[in-house]
Amino acid sequence: MISRPNPFVQSLPKEFNGVSHVDGVSDVSDVSPIIDEFSSVYVLECGPESPALVNATVPAGTCWPRVTVPGAGQIVLFGLHGGAGTTTLATIFGDDVIDAGQGWPVSADGNEVRVIAVARTHHLGLSVADDFTQFWGSGQLNESRLLGLILVDDAPRLVDSQQRAVKRLLKKTPLGAHVPWVENWRFGPPDPQQIPLRIRRIVNAFKNA
């Protein structure tokens, strides 16, 4: 992994300043900028569509692990660390996604894979998310198409430093999403029939990306 500064204190890179929130419902260009009631973090944010717009650098010889997945045209979720929340999100997304575990998904048949990276909002999750977005921005993950990053809350409330880190990271990929804490998910899997509106909008945004 890349050695990066503490994500809780790092300031917003200037290349991502001025990126507006997404603002509607049916697709990426039309998804309402819902703000979580327990923080000032937007549920959805837009960022650079391509690594070419970022032109980040990483230390020479750095690599990101890959994992081979079926090339069936489905969206693939992958965790940036253990316990990232991919299993929970796969339940919410339904049959349209594959949970690839950890590792950058690459198609077994050479077809383009649409990928969503997932991490928690604790220190490890934000640190690895920072590493990953930097690595993606360097253009070295070109075998598949990154749809964006989803950050899943690790506690009912985020402290100010977590909120700042989440806001910054959500703007570093084509589409960034923040899944707030859902208490019921501690006791059982999500009920697809009772998913909060803001999270349904996240799902719709990524499916239409």
200-to-17, 111, 164 alpha-carbon distances in Å:
27, 28, 24
How far apart, in whole angstroms, are the C-alpha atoms of residue 12 and residue 18?
11
Residue 5 DSSP code: -
How far apart, in whole angstroms, are the C-alpha atoms of residue 93 and residue 147?
14
Task: Report the pLDDT value the prediction gives residue 59, as an integer from 0 to 100.
Answer: 76
Task: Report the pLDDT value the prediction gives residue 177, as an integer from 0 to 100.
Answer: 96
Task: Report the pLDDT value the prediction gives residue 188, as an integer from 0 to 100.
Answer: 85
How far apart, in whole angstroms, are the C-alpha atoms of residue 181 and residue 158?
9
Share of the chain above pLDDT 90, in %: 55
Task: Report the pLDDT value the prediction gives residue 206, as an integer from 0 to 100.
Answer: 95
Which residue ranges of the chain lie beneath pLDDT 50?
3, 5-40
Sign of CA dihedral 66, 171, 203, 52: negative
Task: Report the pLDDT value the prediction gives residue 4, as an integer from 0 to 100.
Answer: 52
